Amino acid sequence: MQIKTQFCIVLFNTIVLASHAHEKVDVFKPDTHSHVEFGEAKSVRYLLYDVNPGEGFNLRRDVFMRVANLVKFLNEDEPWVLVLPPWGRLYHWKSQDLNQIKVKWSTFFDLASLREHIPVIEFEDYLTVMGEEVVEEIYYLQRYKEGWTNGKWEEKMDIRDCIDRVPYQKDDDGKWRGWFFGYENVYAKKFACLSVQSEAGNMKSFLMKNTTSRSVMLDRAEQLIHGRSGQHSTNYWDARRSMVFAKHLRDIGDEFRREYLDSTDENDKTVLESWTQMKKNHGDAKGGPYISVHLRRKDYLYAHKEQVPSLKYAAKQIKELLKKNKVKKVFIASDCDENDFETLKGFFKKAEIYRYKPTQEIREKYKDGGVAIIDQWIAAHARHFVGTYVSTFSFRIQEEREILGFDPETTFNRLCSESEEECEQPSKWKIVY
């Protein structure tokens, strides 16, 4: 079911929340298409969420889309703001010399673009608005202990005893303490475990009927599925398109493209417009005169060793793509070390092989996550992209290329290993407007 975007603007058109000491942010963006009449004024409520600590950056982006669309549906009936969980302590962020907790979303994403989809606010700004470091209720999402009923998945949710050990404890004052993104003084007033088998959007009824708290947190939000707001829906793609990378990261990627890859948006037909107005057809984008490759190594060398090619075999496939696309440059986005990168380069005699190497200033300012986004941005603009088997890093690049208007044949590809008799290529998850 397609649900039309409706933001509460009649009574909340001028709601303004403090976002730093001297800055103000309109978290409710006017929607020119439709209005919701609330009648009597309702207080703004805040939805927070967190994700299993082991999940990576790009899976967390997917969970954001699920929760964002829940907030979209909530705003059909009453005003809710999504509190963006600070980034930090991610498995793939290996740089020990960087301070990588309490990282704001504005480091990585354009908040104005996010607010074109739903009202959002940074966690620090939420604390300012609340006037104290508190979350009123936490629901810790978990599976059903008994599993599926009769072996079938069915939509349901129930307050249950906690199945596993939870990362929250009640102190002597009755306050629930735990990990709140590195903010040590934050506490929760109430806590409960909630067994769920549910689409994210169907949490709306629970939140509206079972709690009146001003702020509610859903921990382990990855337990919720997209369901009807999945990749074949406009809801999914509206949320995904709103996740525009921060301009400072795009600018760095664009400068690298110009300097090393002879690539500009004007020549490549990849000029970025406001996502609410930008509707590209497949084939509109040409891409820069280079091949981009996401070559994942490290954990994949043992987690997916049957699908990871040797460097020599990867080079063989890249050479074939260079010849097919009549280009001479390759951009490599990879977690491989410098020795592996030099080994890969050694298999090429004529082609120019590049990777992005950030300065220390860039690393300190934008962290490992920002460097990864710069890689993705450069890779997304290539004439032809080839990724890594079931990698969410590759998935996000493929989505970026769908948004920019590339031919799917140049996007949904992956490297094969020598041991694969049949090298199945990625599913073509095409954009929906």
* Catalytically annotated residues: 55
Closest by CA to 404, choosing from 256, 259, 248, 292, is 292
E strands, 73-174, in order: 80-84, 120-122, 134-142, 156-160, 168-170
Residue 89 has φ and ψ, to the nearest 5°, of 60, 45
CB count, 10 Å around CB of 105? 20
Give 245's DSSP letter: B
Handedness of CA 384, 390, 396, 401 (dihedral sign): positive
The set of residues, in sequence order, having a beta carbon less than 8 Å from that of 425 and lying 6+ positions away, is: 412, 413, 414
Q: Concatenate the DSSP letters of all residues of 4-23 into one string.
A: ---B--TTTTT--EE-SSS-
Contact between 217 and 50 under an 8 Å Cβ cutoff? The reply is yes
What SS3 state is found at 102?
A: coil
> Rounded distance, CA 141 to CA 386, Å?
36
Closest by CA to 204, choosing from 82, 33, 298, 76, is 76
Give 56's DSSP letter: -
Closest by CA to 243, choosing from 110, 371, 372, is 110
What does the block give as tokens for 361? Answer: 């200033």
Determine which helix (DSSP H) or strand (DSSP E) holds 90, and give its type and residue range.
none
Q: What is the dihedral of CA 131, 136, 141, 145, to 10 degrees?
A: 150
Give 225's DSSP letter: B
